[in-house]
Amino acid sequence: MCGIVGYTGTRQAVDVLLDSLKKLEYRGYDSAGVAIVDQSIQLHKDKGVIANMESTLPRFTGGVGVAHTRWATCGRPSKENAHPFIDCSGNLALVHNGIIENYMELKRQLIAEGHKFTSDTDTEILVHLIERHYTGDALEALNQALKEVKGTYALVLVQKGSDHIYAARRENPLVIGLGVGENFIASDVTALLDYTNKVIYVMDGEVVDLSPSKVTIYDSNGSVVNRKPEVITWSAEDAQKGGFEHFMLKEIFEVPSAIHNTLLGNLDGVEDGTFLTNVDFNSVKIVACGTSHHAAMVGRYLIERLAKLPVSAELASEYRYGEKAKECPLVILITQSGETADTLAAAREAKRRGCRTLAITNVVGSTITREVDEVFYTRAGPEIGVAATKTFIAQLIALYLIAMRLGYAKKSMSHDSLRTMRNEMMSLPQVVRRVLDNADQVEQATDMLVSARDVFFLGRNINYPVMLEGALKLKEISYIHAEGYAAGEMKHGPLALIDASTPIVATVVRDQTYEKMLSNISEVQAREGLVLAIGGEGDAELEQVAHKVLYVPGVPALYSPVPISVLLQLLAYYTAKRKGCSIDKPKNLAKSVTVD
């Protein structure tokens, strides 16, 4: 959560900061602010989206500054609680992402010392704490202050009359952008792509000193760190809308490329063992949050079917509270950003229990990549919309490949079966393109949902978690209450809520659950529920029991989660669009959940 940008160089900092900050608005949009260093620190901030703040922004001058867009955690959204914060003397200004756990204790101390507070945030504690130690050297004051802090942070500090920027990280992302005669720092690389593709990722416990001509990184012991920069292959255009009305729609239409790129980078490893070379384990646990947890649930079905191993899928936020089992499974951790706080905590707990760990993530250099034994990179490219779309599909592809790898390595799949499945996987981009070609039919089907107060999503077997994800997408961006259920559970309570005002979205594929799903739909119809069914092309029988049918290309049932998930993403998108909702920036949500 929250977006941070810092700049030092020869340009007008306010122009760079505003341009870069807008690229990070998906990380938070409750309030925003900038601080520009000249002979004094010029501060401006406001409640709401960045445009609110920008519309009243004075013409600040200066080549050094920081900016922030906020997703509220401590303190309600307001102008007073917006970042940056400035100290009592006016020498220092700071922005922060994270949680300061002992802020109340520190605040009491600082108030007793005469410090005056203007907000309800934990962040303001930091700038006053640094001021307590400040005698003219901001870097030394920062180091001393951090010794008193408990919690997590990515923070950036500027000092009156200086062209240096100071930053520090603990469990929240920061990335340095390298320029010529200028340098940048941000919480996400997407903020920097218009200016540089050369970056250095800041690691946990490190402190950074940036000037226009130099970058110095110090480890937790104060020693200088020499780290080679990485070149980002994403272009600035990859992080733009490219003619689409919303990022979410653009990213849904990028699913075929996300599938292709994830397969291209990893498919050979299924057979030659370039990932999961050591398969000396007898069970698997997949741990994740939110959308990634739904991918984990699909992964459970895939690995159990292809590798014949027992698999469980668990919420990362609950994993740390369990007890260590007698046998330690392979723990697969899924996080799109690589920075999800609960998933990082789960990774550390898995290591503490002595388990081997494998992360699935979309972001090279993210925190999770340094916490685990092995990393499987999806290659979906930048995703700006808060609701995960192409990254979810890329996670599914990763799990197919991991299941295939385990099945082949554990000898539950023959070489011929593996080759057949490889060929089938290569066809999935084209399968999804056919779904996208019929997006107008999906848009028309929203007539059944747009006025609803409640919607149920029903599926069985491997498509049960797909329907959980479909319900999540609808509630995230359209604000319609939606619940996903295993269809067999409807008669165990939820059927009491079905009537003519409650639409049902049901997935029916030709597998061992087909007849049972038809029966479940009939039960709904008997209670006057309206059924929007999703089935394979040519399924005339389904048209006899549903009010409307949307078709996906006929694929083996094992692959059906891919086209069905894309169709459900379109369904949520077009429903939200018709309702006039804020699709890319839904209320109360942010893209990367870096606090727990």
Catalytically active residues, by annotation = 2, 591
Type of residue found at 350:
A
Q: If DSSP codes are grouped into helix, strand and coil, which group holds residue 249?
A: helix
CA distance 434 to 64: 49
Q: If DSSP codes are grouped into helix, strand and coil, which group holds residue 101?
A: coil
CA distance 32 to 47: 7
Give the CA angle between residues 79, 81, 86 to the nearest 5°: 95
Residues near 532 by Cβ (< 8 Å), separated by ≥ 6? 445, 448, 449, 503, 504, 505, 506, 546, 547, 548, 549, 550
Report how far Cα 64 is from the mean position of its chain's Cα atoms: 30
8 Å CB contact between 376 and 266: yes
Q: Residue 438: phi, psi to the nearest 5?
A: -105, 25
Type of residue found at 83:
H
DSSP secondary structure string for all residues of 355-371: --EEEEES-TT-GGGGT
CA distance 426 to 417: 14
Both tokens of residue 223?
Answer: 């020693």
CA distance 570 to 567: 5
Strand-pair partners of 46: 32
8 Å CB contact between 2 and 28: yes
8 Å CB contact between 94 and 132: no
